[in-house]
Amino acid sequence: MSARLGLHAALKHADPIVAPTAARLLAEIEDRESIPALIDFVLHSRSYAKTAGLNALRSLDAQDAIPAFEQLCADPYVPDDFYWYGHKGVRASAAVHLLSWGNTAGERFLQELLDNKDRVILRDFTATILQIKNQAAEGIQKQLSFEALWDEAQTVSLQDTAYTDASQLCSLCEAMAFVDDERADQCLRYYMDYYSRYVRGEAYKSLYRRHGDAVVAEITDSVNRHNTDFDRVVLGLISKDGDALKQIAESAQQAFDRTAALHALAEIEAPCDETLALSFINKSVGDEIYGALEWIVQTQSYDIALPERSNDALYDVYVNVLALKKELAPC
């Protein structure tokens, strides 16, 4: 089976992480020939995580997929988890991406979510909507003011909703990077001292996005004060410090901190350290394996000989992506 067909098969894999990872990586290597397979994935998968396929198609600017997005905006073709966010989340994802193309087919649904102060839009899509640069999005964008976000965060935490959830606060901090209001800085500085290191991490990134190098010293001070490996991973990412990230990847106690350091090395495209990457890939289990593969893929390190690994569909995704990327690379 060719690498591309292997990746298309992965889009049908039952594991909730395998298919979205394949979709994301197909977009990252800009494999436009996979657009029909991605359309098939988003139309026919019953997994909520197929939003990764919508993200991939938008990232590829696959305008052929617009009818599929419109269809999913009306009927997401996933189980109706009426009490939760998955069903609405897939619809909202399609609607937001359509809006970014200037298509307002999903605007009414997004407005309904906003009118209902639905956490679906507030937790997952605010940052994306605020980054859209077209007239079609302006009506929705205007409603995502600092007050709207902050008031929501303050009021609903007193009820039984999710704004005290660290995961949602990460989204709030991410969105604050794009809010045109000086008070967003104050909000981010508040969350730079939050008890959750992951919320702090998003606050660091957003403050940096707003002010660049001018706030690195302030972020460094906060990182040193909290003194966790994860805080340091985010600082390494912001300051593009590959050596610091490699050191954390080697020495961090928590598996996720090692994994996050590897993903950060991939994101800043630090030259891949073959010995270090393989030291993780040769492990029997652990998310670091895939963090190291991410690093290899993002840095196009085709010369690294990957070991055989059986019955690991996620590993196969990376192997196939690397092979396909090499195939697609200009000679």
Residue 311 or 331 having the CB closest to other proteins:
311
Q: How far is the CB of 264 from other proteins (least distance, A)?
A: 9
Q: How many helices (H) and strands (E) does the chain have?
A: 21, 0
Phi, psi of 296, rounded to the nearest 5 degrees: -65, -45
Which residues are near other proteins by CB under 8 A? 14-17, 20-21, 24, 46-49, 51-52, 55, 58, 79, 81-86, 89-90, 93, 96-97, 123-125, 127-128, 157-162, 164-171, 174, 195-199, 201-202, 230, 254, 256, 259-260, 263, 287, 290-291
- Closer CB to other proteins, 116 or 167, in the complex: 167
Nearer to other proteins, 284 or 303 (CB): 284
- Residue 79 C-beta: closest distance to other proteins, Å: 7
User: Cα–Cα distance between 191 and 169 in angstroms, integer?
Assistant: 9
The least CB distance from residue 32 to other proteins, in Å, is 19
Nearer to other proteins, 2 or 61 (CB): 61
Residue 97: CB atoms within 10 Å: 25
Rank residues 2 and 102 by Cβ distance to other proteins and give the closer one.
102
- Cβ nearer to other proteins, comparing 15 with 30: 15
Burial of 156 (0-12, 13-18, 19+ CB in 10 A): middle
CB of 2 to other proteins, least distance (A): 24
Residue 233: CB minimum distance to other proteins, A: 9
Closest approach of other proteins to the CB of residue 22, in Å? 11
DSSP state of 33: G
Q: Which is nearer to other proteins, 17 or 43 (CB)?
A: 17
What does the DSSP assignment read for 28-85?
Answer: HTT-GGGHHHHHHHHHH---GGGHHHHHHHHHTT-GGGHHHHHHHHH---S---TTSS
Rounded Cα distance between 225 and 324, Å, is: 44
Cα gap 31→54, rounded to integer Å: 15
Of 327, 256, 326, 247, whose CA–CA distance to 291 is shortest?
256
How many other CB atoms sit within 10 Å of the CB of residue 187? 22
Residue closer to other proteins by CB (options 2, 225) is: 225
Coil, strand or helix: which one is 145? Answer: coil
Distance, CA of 96 to CA of 184 (rounded, Å): 23
From the CB of 193, what's the least distance to other proteins, in Å?
14
Distances (CA, A) of 270 to 113, 145, 265, 286: 40, 36, 5, 22
With residue 249 as reference, give the H or E element that holds it.
Answer: helix 242-251
Q: How far apart are CA 295 and CA 277, in angstroms?
A: 8
As to burial, measured by CB atoms within 10 angstroms (0-12 exposed, 13-18 middle, 19+ buried), residue 190 is exposed
| Least distance (Å) between residue 68 CB and other proteins | 17
Q: CB 145 → other proteins: shortest distance, Å?
A: 20
Nearer residue to other proteins within complex by CB, 34 or 298? 298
